[in-house]
């Protein structure tokens, strides 16, 4: 009996060890989620109230160091960097979401179709994907954005279009294996219409990989938008976006580093937060 | 006392308990497993899925599943050397010399990009430097001994160039390369056709007889063990149900589980069974510790105490043991009748 | 080509005539099924037996129309079926159903057990209320409790239960022909018996014709009325199961039979050589078993042995068939133990 009790203790010790590890993960996820919530609340405040005006200029108080009145200091035009960073978040995240929707929906449709139907369709899609991937992405984006004008939707959809190949590859490989599964063959034998097979059998199998890749894609989209704005192909000034603010502050890096650092840190923190939550989502699904 | 009597058995397992812990889920895999395999002896371990037979084989070799905390208690000794206290590195340096394993799917256990001769002598070359020529001629010799035709040429081939049966021979050659004291074969013929299966099993028997090592044959098929192992151990839900001489366990088993298993096997001889006697119910969940006898819920002879109290090991005959309350009662009655 | 005759009063449900299946990839062709014919009647089970590469599963796929034959025909109630399922008549497409080897993997993991069984009904436009009632009925037919198992997902049930759900789903289409492709191979012995019993009952009570594909002669013996033995896509022998297993006429059948392990019964003489069969990538000439056969002569390599009647319902494709009376006496266990029982 005592042996059994002892055995029970050992099992519990091991369970406790894994619980401890899990608590650490939970803490990281909580911090990450907390950051995203704070960001969302501040964004709402800046939209709903005049408290955080990213355009208010006061040339008498240009390049002020961070203080109580200006937590992140002011920029060369005397605008509050905190207000601009919060407003930038809004633009950057909206672009990222548009990117994600375009990339995920387009990529999944194309990838699942190619993987499930195989044959000529797969070959044509494969060729198109390779062709898109062969063109330098930045060049393509800059060209398209130059033609269509730098709006949130044009930037979002353009980066999104370029993400279609990656999403298509992820979903195609899964659709390829799922179509060989016995439950798909069984569905064919009981005359399940193909659209229903795709929705009921293939999509749910693709979903977990899609979700975990979506987090990665989201971070890539934020960074891409940042880079684009930094290069001057993003939203037109004075509209704020993280990349744009970082670019504006570049000239003053030596004298007023906060202008660049605040949005850069916000960007880095957001990317890390999304990655952390994405990792948890991946764990849960696998 | 003769020299062989003092010699340590090839394998000693005493009161082995294994639990897998992953997150807050605990899987209770093995409990109270004890068995001994002498050198030169062949023992069969029979069990269905969830019986823990493969985990037992892997635990003996020190193979632990990745990403899972394994809680092991009890003793495992191979040729008298403790396997559980040893570090993984120690076991790895020993494995191959003391014990080695033949896997179910040789295609998966061999590296498809490395010529087979290198993989056959790996157990030797991992441990000490061997000149290439010597290693290769040793591999050719081993291939010849396991009946691979044209061994000189076949030694240079890659695993993909062999048929399933021939590849399992390569697996056997690799397993016996370092003259282990104990050879474990985990479902070595499950992936093979029946006509090939018997040749591979015949070969295993030959190899054992020639080398004097202990052989453990893990299988789900009680039929395979006839004529091939001295003793049979029947496992169910992580526990040993019955163990004894193979010929007796396969013809007049004492334990109700073994009896049910034997009856459920479709026969090629005897009357045709339009309705096969199935064992109703299913394996108890391995996620909870199992009080009493794990077979109680499916057992036709179950009594109230079977679900609560662990059945004792009852000696039915010399070397034949069954863990069962009903068998214990029968023994008592017989004693009383005397 | 000689064919095993069916009594005139009972028209066959399924006829397969001179079936040939080839798989071509790039420049190489695999001759998977070579000139195979058989017929099936309602309420009877035909077993296709053979080792890996024998073509038994390919025949099943050709019968349901998942694989297009190179030549030959599949007749359902006397009507020729298109090679590709898609071109078959929608009304009779559901008449041939299949149960696969992997129990859990052949059910949609994202749907409940009930929904899986309801799918074929839904596809045929059966109303929702009627579907639910029929699903309960089908679960009862395969011996499962609708209340406890119905709402579960396939991942939450055991292999034996999953296989019975697969059978219920196949029955939902009210098939005339049920194909069981290694349907019990992945199951534990104690569970296998339950599934085999369900299959037998379905054949008897629903009067379906079952094509039972297996590598296990012992299972086949207890489940089928007729057996067809295949080797490398060639039909070696066909006839009543008990007859053939008691006295094989083909050397391959005898070798296969001798290799089946059985508790407490020592294995017989292997009855074959150690050689590998010829490559399936070469157009077959002669008997595919010749290299492994102890009785092979030069003729076996040159001339394909035709399927020849050796009894009222038995046919064998062998130039040197085993003397059936001699064989029967050489396998004493059959008669001896049969008599004992």
Instruction: Using DSSP, state whether B215 is helix, strand or coil.
Output: strand
Q: What is the pLDDT of residue C337?
A: 37
The answer to whether the CB atoms of B17 and A14 lie below 8 A apart is no
Whether C191 and chain B come into contact, CB under 8 Å, resolves to: yes
Give the separation between CA C113 and CA A170, rounded to whole angstroms.
Answer: 29
Q: Where are the domains of chain A?
A: 3-285
Residue by residue, pLDDT tens for chain C (341 residues) are 445 554 545 789 999 999 999 998 888 889 999 999 999 999 999 999 998 889 999 999 999 999 999 999 999 999 999 988 888 988 888 999 999 999 889 999 999 999 999 999 999 999 999 999 999 999 999 999 999 999 999 999 989 999 999 999 999 999 999 999 999 998 998 889 999 999 999 999 999 999 999 999 999 999 999 999 999 999 999 999 999 999 999 999 999 998 888 887 777 788 888 777 777 888 888 999 999 999 999 999 999 999 999 888 899 999 999 876 655 555 544 433 333 33
The rounded radius of gyration (Å) of the Cα atoms in chain C is: 21
Domain assignment present for B93: yes
Contact of A109 with A231, CB cutoff 8 Å? no
Whether A188 and chain C come into contact, CB under 8 Å, resolves to: yes
Host domain of residue B248: 11-98+180-266+285-337
Whether the predicted pLDDT of B337 surpasses 70? yes
| C263: its two tokens | 């508790």
Give the separation between CA C187 and CA C195, rounded to whole angstroms.
Answer: 9
Give the separation between CA C1 and CA C71, rounded to whole angstroms.
Answer: 15
| Average per-residue pLDDT for chain A | 86
Residues of B with CB under 8 A from a CB of A: 17, 19, 21-24, 26, 69, 71, 73
> Is beta strand B320-323 parallel, antiparallel or unpaired with respect to B313-317?
antiparallel
Q: What is the pLDDT of residue A89?
A: 86
Of A182, A200, A205, the CB nearest to C106: A182
pLDDT beneath 50, residues of chain A: 1-7
The answer to whether the CB atoms of A186 and C100 lie below 8 A apart is yes
* Residue positions counted in chain A: 286
Q: What is the pLDDT of residue A201?
A: 94
Domain assignment present for B319: yes
| Mean of pLDDT values over B291-301 | 93
Structural domain tally of chain B? Answer: 1
The answer to whether the CB atoms of B26 and A15 lie below 8 A apart is yes
The nearest CA of chain A is from the CA of C254 a distance in Å of 33
| Cα separation of the two ends of chain B | 36
The nearest CA of chain A is from the CA of C159 a distance in Å of 14
Name all domains of chain C by residue range, CATH numbers in brackets.
14-95+175-330 (3.40.50.300)
Whether A194 and chain C come into contact, CB under 8 Å, resolves to: no
How buried is A94 (Cβ within 10 angstroms: 0-12 exposed, 13-18 middle, 19+ buried)? Answer: middle
DSSP 8-state secondary structure symbol assigned to residue C265: B
The nearest CA of chain C is from the CA of B282 a distance in Å of 8
Chain A residues whose beta carbon lies within 8 Å of the beta carbon of residue C173:
190
List b or e across A17-32, with b for residues whose CB sees 16 or more CB atoms inside 10 angstroms. Answer: ebeeeeeeeeebbeeb
pLDDT band at B10 (very low <50, low <70, confident <90, very high): very high
Reported as a single tens digit per residue, the pLDDT across B317-331 is 999 999 999 999 998
The answer to whether the CB atoms of A11 and B19 lie below 8 A apart is yes
The answer to whether the CB atoms of B268 and C221 lie below 8 A apart is yes
The nearest CA of chain A is from the CA of B58 a distance in Å of 20
Reported as a single tens digit per residue, the pLDDT across B229-268 is 999 999 999 999 999 999 999 999 999 999 999 999 999 8
Give the separation between CA A270 and CA A279, rounded to whole angstroms.
Answer: 14
- Assign residue B234 the CATH number of its domain: 3.40.50.300
CA nearest neighbour of B95 among B137, B143, B127, B54: B127
Chain C residues whose beta carbon lies within 8 Å of the beta carbon of residue A189:
64, 66, 85, 96-98
Q: What is the pLDDT of residue A7?
A: 46
Reported as a single tens digit per residue, the pLDDT across A118-152 is 999 999 999 999 988 888 888 888 888 888 888 88
Give the separation between CA B77 and CA B59, rounded to whole angstroms.
Answer: 11
The answer to whether the CB atoms of C124 and A187 lie below 8 A apart is no
Chain A residues whose beta carbon lies within 8 Å of the beta carbon of residue B17:
7
Domain assignment present for B320: yes
> Is beta strand B239-245 parallel, antiparallel or unpaired with respect to C28-40?
unpaired
- Residues 271-300 of chain C with CB under 8 A from chain B are 272, 274, 276
Contact of B210 with C272, CB cutoff 8 Å? no
Please give the share of chain A, as a percent, with pLDDT higher than 70: 94
Chain B residues whose beta carbon lies within 8 Å of the beta carbon of residue C157:
none
Task: State which fold the A3-285 domain adopts.
Answer: MetI-like fold (1.10.3720)
DSSP characters for B108-121? HHS-TTS-HHHHHT
DSSP 8-state secondary structure symbol assigned to residue C272: S
Whether A174 and chain C come into contact, CB under 8 Å, resolves to: no
| B207: its two tokens | 């190899």
Of C52, C189, C190, the CB nearest to B193: C52
The answer to whether the CB atoms of B251 and C264 lie below 8 A apart is yes
pTM for the model: 0.85
Of A189, A191, A201, the CB nearest to C108: A201
Instruction: Using DSSP, state whether C314 is helix, strand or coil.
Output: coil
């Amino acid at each position: 009996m005592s042996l059994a009790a002892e055995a029970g203790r050992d099992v519990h010790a091991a369970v406790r060890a894994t619980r401890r590890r899990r608590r650490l993960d939970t803490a990281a996820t909580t911090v990450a989620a907390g950051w995203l919530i704070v960001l969302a609340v501040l964004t709402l405040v800046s939209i709903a109230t005049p408290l955080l005006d990213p355009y208010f200029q006061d040339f008498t108080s240009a390049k002020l160091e961070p203080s109580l009145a200006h937590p992140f200091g002011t920029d060369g035009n005397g605008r509050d960097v905190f207000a601009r960073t919060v407003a930038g978040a809004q633009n950057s995240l909206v672009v990222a979401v548009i990117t994600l929707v375009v990339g995920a929906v387009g990529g999944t449709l194309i990838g699942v179709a190619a993987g499930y139907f195989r044959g000529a369709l797969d070959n044509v899609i494969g060729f198109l994907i390779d062709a898109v991937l062969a063109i330098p992405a930045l060049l393509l984006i800059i060209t398209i954005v130059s033609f269509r004008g730098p709006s949130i939707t044009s930037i979002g959809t353009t980066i999104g279009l370029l993400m279609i190949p990656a999403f298509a590859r992820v979903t195609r490989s899964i659709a390829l294996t799922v179509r060989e599964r016995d439950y798909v063959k069984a569905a064919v034998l009981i005359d399940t219409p193909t659209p229903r097979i795709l929705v009921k059998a293939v999509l749910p199998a693709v979903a977990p990989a899609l979700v975990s890749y979506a987090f990665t894609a989201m971070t890539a989209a934020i960074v891409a938008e940042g880079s684009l704005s930094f290069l001057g192909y993003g939203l037109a000034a004075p509209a704020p976006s993280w990349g744009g603010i970082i670019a504006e502050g570049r000239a003053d890096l030596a004298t007023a580093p906060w202008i660049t650092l605040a949005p850069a840190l916000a960007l880095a923190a957001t990317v890390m937060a999304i990655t952390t939550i994405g990792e948890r989502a991946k764990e849960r699904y696998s | 006392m003769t020299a062989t009597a003092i010699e340590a058995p090839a394998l000693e397992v005493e009161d082995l308990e294994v639990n897998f812990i992953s997150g807050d889920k605990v899987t209770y895999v093995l409990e109270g497993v004890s068995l001994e395999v002498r050198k030169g002896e062949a023992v069969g371990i029979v069990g269905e899925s969830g019986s823990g037979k493969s985990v037992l084989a892997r635990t003996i070799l020190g193979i632990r599943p990745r990403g899972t905390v394994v809680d092991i208690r009890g003793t495992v000794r191979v040729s008298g050397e403790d396997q559980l206290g040893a570090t993984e590195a120690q076991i790895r340096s020993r494995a191959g010399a003391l014990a080695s394993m033949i896997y179910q799917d040789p295609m998966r256990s061999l590296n498809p990009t490395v010529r087979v001769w290198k993989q056959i002598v790996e157990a030797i070359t991992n441990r000490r430097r061997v000149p290439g020529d010597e290693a290769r001629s040793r591999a050719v010799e081993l291939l010849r001994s396991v009946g691979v035709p044209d061994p000189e040429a076949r030694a240079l081939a890659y695993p993909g160039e062999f048929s399933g049966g021939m590849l399992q021979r390569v697996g056997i050659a690799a397993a016996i390369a370092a003259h282990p004291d104990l050879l474990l074969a985990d479902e070595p013929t499950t992936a093979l056709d029946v006509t090939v299966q018997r040749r591979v099993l015949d070969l295993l028997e030959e190899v054992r007889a020639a080398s004097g090592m202990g052989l453990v044959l893990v299988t789900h098929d009680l039929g395979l063990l006839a004529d091939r192992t001295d003793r049979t151990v029947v496992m169910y839900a992580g526990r040993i149900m019955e163990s004894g001489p193979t010929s007796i366990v396969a013809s007049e088993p004492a334990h109700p589980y073994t009896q049910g298993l034997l009856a459920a096997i479709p026969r090629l001889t005897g009357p045709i069974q339009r309705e096969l006697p199935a064992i109703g119910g299913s394996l108890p969940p391995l996620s909870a510790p199992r009080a009493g006898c794990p077979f109680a819920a499916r057992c036709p002879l179950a009594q109230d105490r079977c679900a609560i109290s662990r059945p004792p090991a009852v000696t039915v005959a010399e070397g034949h043991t069954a863990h069962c309350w009903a068998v214990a009662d029968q023994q008592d009655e017989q004693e009383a009748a005397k | 080509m000689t064919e095993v005759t069916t009594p005139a009063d009972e028209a066959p449900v399924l006829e397969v005539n001179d079936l040939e299946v080839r798989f071509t990839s790039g420049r190489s062709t695999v001759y998977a099924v070579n000139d195979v014919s058989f017929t099936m009647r309602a309420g009877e089970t035909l077993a296709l037996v053979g080792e890996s590469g024998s073509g038994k599963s390919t025949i099943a796929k050709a019968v349901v129309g998942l694989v297009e034959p190179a030549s030959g025909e599949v007749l359902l109630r006397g009507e020729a079926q298109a090679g590709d399922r898609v071109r078959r008549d929608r009304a009779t497409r559901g008449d041939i159903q299949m149960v696969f080897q992997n129990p859990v993997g052949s059910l949609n993991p994202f749907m409940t057990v009930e929904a899986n069984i309801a799918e074929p009904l839904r596809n045929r436009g059966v109303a929702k209320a009627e579907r639910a009632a029929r699903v309960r009925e089908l679960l009862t037919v395969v011996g499962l409790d609708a209340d406890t198992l119905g709402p579960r997902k396939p991942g939450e049930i055991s292999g034996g239960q999953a296989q019975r759900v697969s059978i219920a789903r196949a029955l939902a289409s009210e098939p005339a022909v049920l194909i069981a492709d290694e349907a019990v191979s992945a199951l534990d012995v104690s569970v296998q018996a339950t599934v085999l019993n369900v299959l037998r009952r379905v054949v008897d009570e629903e009067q379906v014709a079952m094509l039972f594909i297996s590598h296990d002669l012992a299972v086949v013996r207890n489940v089928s009325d007729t057996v067809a033995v295949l080797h490398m896509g060639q039909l070696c022998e066909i006839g009543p199961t008990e007859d053939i297993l008691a006295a094989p006429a083909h050397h391959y059948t005898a070798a296969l039979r001798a290799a089946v392990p059985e508790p407490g019964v020592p294995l017989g003489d292997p009855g074959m050589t150690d050689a590998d069969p010829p490559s399936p990538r070469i157009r077959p000439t002669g008997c595919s078993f010749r290299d492994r056969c102890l009785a092979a002569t030069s003729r076996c390599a040159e001339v394909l042995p035709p399927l020849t009647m050796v009894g009222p319902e038995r046919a064998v494709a062998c130039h040197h068939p085993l003397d059936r009376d001699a064989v029967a006496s050489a396998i004493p266990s059959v008669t001896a133990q049969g008599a004992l029982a």
